[in-house]
Amino acid sequence: MSETSGTTANSTGIGSTRVAAYLREAILGGELKPGDRIRQEEVAERLGASRLPVREALRMLEAEGLTEHEAHKGARVPRLSPHEVDVVYRMRERLEPLALAESLPQLGPDEHAQLAEVQQRIEDNEDLEKFLDLDREFHMLTYSGCQIDPLMSNVTRLWNSTQHYRRAFVALGGRSRMWVVNSEHRLILDAVVRRDADDGERFLGGHIRRTRIELSHHPEVFG
Amino acid sequence: MSETSGTTANSTGIGSTRVAAYLREAILGGELKPGDRIRQEEVAERLGASRLPVREALRMLEAEGLTEHEAHKGARVPRLSPHEVDVVYRMRERLEPLALAESLPQLGPDEHAQLAEVQQRIEDNEDLEKFLDLDREFHMLTYSGCQIDPLMSNVTRLWNSTQHYRRAFVALGGRSRMWVVNSEHRLILDAVVRRDADDGERFLGGHIRRTRIELSHHPEVFG
DNA sequence: CCTCTAGATTTTGGATCCAATCGGTGTCAG
DNA sequence: CTGACACCGATTGGATCCAAAATCTAGAGG
């Protein structure tokens, strides 16, 4: 998948969106870790593009909270302190219930079925690595009815910026926490199907809060 | 103020940060309104730069919520629907009290004095246009102790994206609302000086909520 | 008279080259 | 032997030119 270009190397641009997609996956996938520097020419060469679309891509990713920039010093994957991660979770605690409340009325039987299916896949899943993506898919699906861009882009940023620490936490906490997570997902799913916004906000808020508290007991995540 | 360059026009780049600053002021100042298209070459020519730093600047502003991009269609100042603005205010209601709570313990006598001085200037002020900036200055000062970047950048985005509608609202509501706003500011200021985070969150949340409700009664703001 | 289409213009996206700034290393003075 | 300064490589920022996509306009056909 890496050799997007290969033969091309010609006509016109590789596309800054493609470069952005490549880097996005690299960061969310864990190949690029917080603190890692991203050299323009390196990724340009790897993708067979010039440095210009890379520059644009880095700026796009900055808007998504995946990179940070400093003039003449280049781009890095942001590193968050334990306290910063804690505050991001507090932000999620407050914002995501709002997104859920906005989304709920827009979700129909199709989305409900899809949600149940994803949740089932989470429970059947054994791969810790897969869990990350499935969990994200579940929550994002519950928000999929929320059309408010300023809200959804913020929520996405919060997930993005803590992705690395979520991964470390999942790898660490192992399967013991899974049971709790799945119970809470079931409660959220039930509230969604019942279209009960109050319950949804309550359960979701609690879900995120408990995760935050658990996380605060595991400083080794920030190794 | 427009001719940032003037004499320069030489050596090397005008600087994407300078272009960004120019556009930022133009948007926040109201010269560029929601829905307005921003042509790269136009601002490049006006500032005596090439189009490249303009492109970078537009991407920076996108990260601040001041512009939006669509491939091959260029940049625009985002236009928000009444409901979107309402939701942004709900986001502020939830996020800014958190920022205040994070900030409070870090604020000392110097900041307290500065806050009181700004609030006094607001009350002495007669110019509706100035009110916008002063109000923003007051609130941002109360958050100035919050060092959490993911939080502060989000708060800034929320203020940015609704700046135009705030302006229209202030111009409309006129002086009658000012009295209420100032009373609420005094309450917030008092809580800050007393370092009472609970009161601060309460008063600030109410302040934003009441503004949101007032705003929802004035659909003419969205012309 | 309206509409759909095809060409021309405008505008954005990308590649290459050049300038400025940052980081590291080596040398010289104290 | 240690610290400061200067130089050199590496990396980012900017300008110019070219290609592609979108928008606008004009003309033909219904």
> How far, in Å, CA of B187 to CA of B119, rounded?
11
What pLDDT shows up at residue A145? Answer: 98
Task: Give A116 CA → D12 C1' in Å.
Answer: 48
Mutation pick from B58, B73, B149 vs chain A, by most beta carbons of A within 10 Å, is B149
Could you tell me if B76 lies within 8 Å of chain A, comparing CB atoms?
Answer: no
Q: What is the pLDDT of residues A130-139, one digit of tens each?
A: 999 999 999 9
Kindly report the number of other CB atoms within 10 A of residue B33's CB atom: 13
Could you tell me if B148 lies within 8 Å of chain A, comparing CB atoms?
Answer: yes
**If DSSP codes are grouped into helix, strand and coil, which group holds residue B108?**
coil
What pLDDT shows up at residue A4? Answer: 31
Kindly report the number of other CB atoms within 10 A of residue B18's CB atom: 17
pLDDT bin (cut points 50, 70, 90) of residue A13 is low
H/E segment holding residue B46: helix B40-47
A148 to chain B, closest Cα gap in Å: 6
CB A160 within 8 A of CB A30: no
A158 to chain B, closest Cα gap in Å: 8
| Token representation of residue A25 | 């996956």
User: Are A91 and B154 a contacting pair at CB < 8 A?
Assistant: yes
| Token representation of residue B125 | 């002020």
What pLDDT shows up at residue B177? Answer: 85
CB-side exposure of B94: number of CA atoms within 13 Å?
Answer: 20
**B-chain residues near A83 (CB < 8 A):** 148
What pLDDT shows up at residue A223? Answer: 83
Q: Give the type of residue at B135.
A: D
> How far, in Å, CA of A118 to CA of A132, rounded?
12
Burial of B47 per CB tally in 10 Å (0-12, 13-18, 19+):
buried
Q: What is the pLDDT of residues B46-60, one digit of tens each?
A: 999 999 999 999 999
What pLDDT shows up at residue B13? Answer: 55
CB B214 within 8 A of CB B173: yes
* pLDDT surpassing 80 at residue A175: no
B54 to chain A, closest Cα gap in Å: 12
Could you tell me if A126 lies within 8 Å of chain B, comparing CB atoms?
Answer: no
Mutation pick from B40, B90, B163 vs chain A, by most beta carbons of A within 10 Å, is B90
User: Are A150 and B65 a contacting pair at CB < 8 A?
Assistant: yes
Scanning the structure block, which residue is given the tokens 């991001």?
A88
Domain extent listing, chain B? 16-76, 82-222
> How far, in Å, CA of B56 to CA of B53, rounded?
5
Measured CA to C1', what is the nucleotide nearest A11?
D19
pLDDT bin (cut points 50, 70, 90) of residue A177 is confident
What pLDDT shows up at residue B116? Answer: 98
Q: What is the pLDDT of residues A49-98, one digit of tens each?
A: 999 999 999 999 999 999 999 999 999 999 999 999 999 999 999 999 99
Q: Indicate the residue of B55, B83, B94 with minimum beta-carbon distance to A98.
A: B94
CB B152 within 8 A of CB B179: no
* pLDDT surpassing 50 at residue A7: no
**B-chain residues near A17 (CB < 8 A):** 71
**B-chain residues near A56 (CB < 8 A):** 55-56, 59
Same fold, A16-76 and A82-222: no
Query: Which residue from B minimizes the CA distance to A81?
Result: B148
Degrees to nearest 5, angle at CA A85 with A81 and A91: 145
Task: Note the CATH architecture for domain A16-76.
Answer: Orthogonal Bundle (1.10)
**If DSSP codes are grouped into helix, strand and coil, which group holds residue A8?**
coil
What pLDDT shows up at residue B176? Answer: 79
Nucleotides of C under 7 A from a protein CB: 11-17, 19-23
- The class that CATH gives domain A82-222 is mainly alpha
Q: Indicate the residue of A60, A94, A150 with minimum beta-carbon distance to B161.
A: A150
Could you tell me if A18 lies within 8 Å of chain B, comparing CB atoms?
Answer: no
- The partner residues of B70 in beta bridges, in order of sequence, read B74
Q: Which residues fall within 8 angstroms of residue B53, CB to CB, at 6 or more apart?
A: B13, B14, B15, B16, B18, B19, B44
* pLDDT surpassing 90 at residue A32: yes
Task: Give A130 CA → D8 C1' in Å.
Answer: 48
Contacts of A197-206 with C-beta under 8 Å, sequence gap 24+, read: A197/A100, A197/A101, A197/A104, A197/A105, A200/A97, A200/A100, A200/A101, A200/A104, A200/A142, A201/A97, A201/A98, A201/A100, A201/A101, A202/A97, A204/A96, A204/A97, A204/A100, A204/A142, A205/A93, A205/A94, A205/A96, A205/A97
| Token representation of residue A162 | 């803590």
H/E segment holding residue B69: strand B68-70
| Token representation of residue B208 | 């934003």
**If DSSP codes are grouped into helix, strand and coil, which group holds residue A91?**
helix
User: Are A154 and B91 a contacting pair at CB < 8 A?
Assistant: yes
DSSP B11: S
Closest CA to B216 of B103, B83, B119: B83
What pLDDT shows up at residue A9? Answer: 31
- For chain B, which residues score pLDDT lower than 50? 1-12
Mutation pick from B59, B104, B162 vs chain A, by most beta carbons of A within 10 Å, is B59
| Radius of gyration in angstroms for the set of CA atoms belonging to chain A, rounded to a whole number | 19
Q: Which of residues 4-63 of B touch strand C (CB under 7 A)?
A: 11-12, 37-41, 51-52, 55
Assess whether B16 (CB) lies less than 7 A from strand D. Answer: yes
String of DSSP letters for B180-206: HHHHHHHHHHHHHHTT-HHHHHHHHHH
DSSP B175: T
CB B214 within 8 A of CB B174: no
* Torsions phi, psi for A69 (to 5 deg): -120, 145
> How far, in Å, CA of B66 to CA of B62, rounded?
6
Assess whether A11 (CB) lies less than 7 A from strand D. Answer: yes
| Token representation of residue A83 | 């306290």
Measured CA to C1', what is the nucleotide nearest A50?
C15
CB A67 within 8 A of CB A38: yes
> How far, in Å, CA of B140 to CA of B43, rounded?
29
Could you tell me if B59 lies within 8 Å of chain A, comparing CB atoms?
Answer: yes
The β-bridge relationship of strands B37-38 and A68-70 is unpaired
Task: Give A20 CA → D28 C1' in Å.
Answer: 45
B36 to chain A, closest Cα gap in Å: 18
| Radius of gyration in angstroms for the set of CA atoms belonging to chain B, rounded to a whole number | 19
